[in-house]
Structures are given as structure tokens and as C-alpha cells.
Structure 1
Amino acid sequence: MAQARSAQAGPGQARSARSAEIRTAALDLFTRLGYEATTMADIGAAVGMRGPSLYKHVASKQDVLAQIMTGTMEALLAAHRSAVATTADPLERLRRATEAHVRYHARHRREAFVGNREIRSLVQPHRDQVLGLRARYERCFRDLIEAGARAGLFEVASARLASYAILDLGMGVAVWFRDDGELTEDAVVWQYSQFALRIVGAG
């Protein structure tokens, strides 16, 4: 079935699908073995490709790690923009942003794990690129908190610390959440959004 789909797809689509397959395999290996212990040969074996063919899709192991980590942050930024797009109310915007943040980490636990553990493994310019995206994401939450404080809806001594606390809450979900656990994803998302509102002194 997969070969039939590849045959029907154009060259660009097939290359994109193959690159995505390589990133998925690398993500699994980085999660289980760690970046340093994973080799390009390991990644190639996981997708049934040898060196020359693999290097047609990715430049290096570092390049794969950078793609995974920048992709994670770009997905979080996109989810944030979508979450807050349809309301101007600061309280509702923070609630929705927190829900999107928590939901992403409940659904993408490997990406969160690798993103947190392997930031040390990035070299320049990839490291600065990922750190810049992280700073932008944190700034999104800080802006929401500052807007709520100006409107008299939130009471915080430091919007920066409040944003860190909310982000840490969501990232922690990736450590313990399981699909077959006691709490459903929706239950966790709702409760954490309430925690966030308490952190900023809403209501």
C-alpha cells in the first residue's frame, strides 16, 4: 500500500514523505538511545536506507535533530496563534493558549522529551535558532499575561515568572501523561487551564 502511494505521488511529494519518515525514525531513536548514541547508520536501518540514499534526504544527524526541534517549536507557535485568534478577551486568550500548550505536550511526548534533553546537543546556528523560537513562544504567553494585568484581570508580581510557571506545567504533562491513564486528555487540559488562571490571580 505504501509503495502504491509512493508510485502515485509526484517526486516532490515522495521526497517529502521520505524525509518525514526519516525524522520520525530519528525521533524514536533519539528518545530511546539518546542523540549521541544514535548513528546515521541506525537511522538508515530504521527506514531501510543505506548511507548514500539517506544523505539525499538529510545532510547530517545534526540536521535531523535541528529539523525535529525547530518543527516542534513552529508547531507550538502555530497552535498558539490558532488558539487565541478568535477572541480579544485576555482571560479567555490565556485559557485557550494554555489548553493548546498542554494538549500538544500530551500528544507529542517524544518531541517534548527530545526537545528538553537534547538542546545541549545542538550546535550553531541551530542552537540559536531553537532558543530564539523558544523565546518567541515564551513571549507570547508573557504578552497575554501583561495584557490581562493592564486590563485589571490578572494580578502578578512578574509576568515573566508567571509565563515560565505555566509553560513548565504544560511541559511536565509530557513526562507522566498516558493515553490509557486515569485522566483523559480533555480532563487534564481543562484542569491545567484552571491552574494557569490561578497562577496569574484571575478572578
Structure 2
Amino acid sequence: MTTQRGNQSAVAARGRTAAGRAPGPRAVEIRNAALVLFAERGYAATTMADIGEAVGMRGPSLYKHVGSKQELLTQIMTGTMDDLLRNHRAAVTGCEDVVERLRRAAEAHVRYHVRHRLEAFVGTREIRSLEEPHRTEVLQRRAAYEQAFRTLLSEGVQAGRFSVTTVKLTSYAILDLGMGVPVWYREDGDLTEDQVVYQYGDFALRLAGAR
């Protein structure tokens, strides 16, 4: 995967250290370097030495800030899901109309994937590389996120605002809208972020048969 300067500069620090403290600047730098390398080379093909080289650190110094490559992958993937869940809650809070809530949730979903292409790419591809209990923790977050969309759809169906054959498949289809964006979206393309987000919000409402 070819990364772009815009993606790398947009990588934000998230997550906590094992002791519950916010990560320091060097820990953030290491995580960001790991994210780029995992996206470019894949988790299995990336070594801690590669990550250390990317930030100008040798083994002993590197391990003062991070315990292992697996820890870095866990930070990235749990952080991604925590951000998505947080963004979803912020998008729907304070809105009573279920149609508008679905639009806002879908737009927040797509906007995250536009702005965090590397996290999205690693999150989709590297779930297989997570060890337990981290894999289960990420899968639980994914299930909670999907359930949030399913709940919106179910509320809309009950209120007579949505018409779908199956809530489950519709929720998957809406989630796929955002997950596909990192494959093709580029900041210097012919569509702005807002144009993509708004249009995909429309797509989500059409999938839900909004009335």
C-alpha cells in the first residue's frame, strides 16, 4: 500500500499505556511509525528493529517506551474502535429524528475512514495477527459498533421511517460504505471530503429505505 504525506501527518495519538497513563511524545512517535509500517509492509513483515530504525532508536531505548510489536498493534486496533464508538455517540447524541441520526452516524463513519486510511487498512487486514485476549477485545468492540447501527435501523423500522428486508445485512452494507473509502479516496482527488461524506450519507439512507 502506498501511503501519502497527508495520511502520515494526520495520524493522531490515541489509547493509554498499560499503566493507564497517556502516552508520551516518543511513545506516540513509535506508534505512528508502527502504523505506517504495518500498512505498507504488513504486521508479520515488520520487525521491532524496523520500527526502531524509523524513529531513530535502538532496541534497549525502544523497549523503554513499548513492550512489544503486539502491544503496538493492539494500541492501534483498540484505539481505532474506541474512536469509532466515541464518534458514533457524539454524532447521534441530542438528535431525536431517527433518519437524521442514521445520516449523522453514517457520515461520522465515512469521515473517520476518509481521515484515517492507515488505521482502517490495518484494522481490516491485521485482525488475524492479534493474539488473545486482544483479538476478542477488538471483536467485541466491532460487535458493539455494528450493533449501534443495527439499533438505529431497528428503531427506524419500528417507527415506519425505514423499509429494509433485513436489518442485519443493511447494517453491514452501511458499514461497508465507509470501509471501502480508504481504498480509493485521495486528498488531491476531484471530490472533497465533505462531498464524499454527504453523498455517502445519502447512500446510507437509500439503503435503509428512508421515508
Q: TM-score, normalised by structure 1?
A: 0.92
Q: 1:10-57: CA deviations, max 9, x gaps?
A: xx9995221111110000111111101100011111111111121121
Aligned residue for 1:54? 62
Aligned partner of 1:26 in structure 2 is 34
Letter in 1 for 2:148: C
Aligned counterpart, 2:207: 199
4+ residue runs over 3 A deviation? 12-15
* Letter of the 1:96 counterpart: R
Question: CA distance change for structure 1 residues 159 and 68 in 2, over 3 Å: closer, same or farther?
Answer: same
CA distance in 2, matches of 1:119, 1:95: 28
Query: What is the RMSD of the two structures over their aligned residues, measured on CA atoms?
Result: 1.4
| Residue type at the aligned position of 1:92 | E
Q: 1:37 to 1:187 in 2, by over 3 A?
A: same
Q: Which runs of 5+ in 1 are unaligned?
A: 1-11
Q: Which residue of 1 aligns with 2:104?
A: 96
Which segments of 5 or more consecutive residues in structure 2 lack a partner in the other structure?
A: 1-19
Residue matched to 2:127: 119
Equivalent residue, structure 2, for 1:184: 192
Q: Secondary structure at the match of 2:31?
A: helix
1:142 counterpart = 2:147: no
Amino acid at match of 1:187: Q
Q: Label 1:15 to 1:106 Cα distance change in 2 as closer, same or farther (>3 A).
A: closer
C-alpha separation in 2, matches of 1:75 and 1:183: 25
Task: Name the structure with the higher helix share.
Answer: 1
Q: Which residue of 2 aligns with 1:153?
A: 161
Name 2:74's counterpart in structure 1.
Answer: 66
Q: Kindly, what percent of the aligned residue pairs are identical?
A: 66
Aligned residues: 192
Deviation at 1:167? 0.1
Counterpart CA distance in 2 for 1:122 and 1:81 is 26
Give CA-to-partner distance per residue, 1:44-100, whole Å, 9 cap, x none. 111111111211211110110010000000000111011001201110100000000
Structure 1 match to 2:4: none
1:80 aligns with 2:88: yes
